[in-house]
Amino acid sequence: MSQGDEKERLAALEARIAALKTPKAEKSHTEEHYSQAQLAWRMVIELVAGLLIGFGIGYGLDRLLGTLPLFLVLFTLLGLAAGIKTMIRSAEEIQRKQVAEEAEKMAPDDAGEGKGTQTHGD
């Protein structure tokens, strides 16, 4: 065996070892599932928080002023409306992020069909 051939084999072996040591960047299905569950819980918590804050303010005002549960009902409904508005805003934010991620995934695939040769016209 020649010295050059041995060096090439060692370089190829080092490249294979380095490729095996690098972690894969792919998301597993469980990570995606937990991410969706987190988003769902976030939206539920926003709705419940709006209700509870409205309930608390209404109850406090009714106790302070000695009125019938007028403020309790009023502020609970306002808290519900605020919670729904916040929940819708979060859903729109999540949707924008997903659209951006999908566009980012699709852009490199469509840009260059040749392997390793991508051209970008600026």
SS (H, E, C) the chain: CCHHHHHHHHHHHHHHHHHHHCCCCCCCHHHHHHHHHHHHHHHHHHHHHHHHHHHHHHHHHHHHHCCCCHHHHHHHHHHHHHHHHHHHHHHHHHHHHHHHHHHHHHHHHHHCCCCCCCCCCC
pTM: 0.56
Inform me whether the pLDDT recorded for 78 exceeds 90.
Answer: yes
Residue 45 predicted with pLDDT over 60: yes
Q: What is the pLDDT of residue 53?
A: 95
| pLDDT reading at 31 higher than 80 | no
- Residue % of the chain over a pLDDT of 90: 34
Model confidence band, residue 122 (pLDDT cutoffs 50, 70, 90): very low
Mean pLDDT over 107-120 rounds to: 53
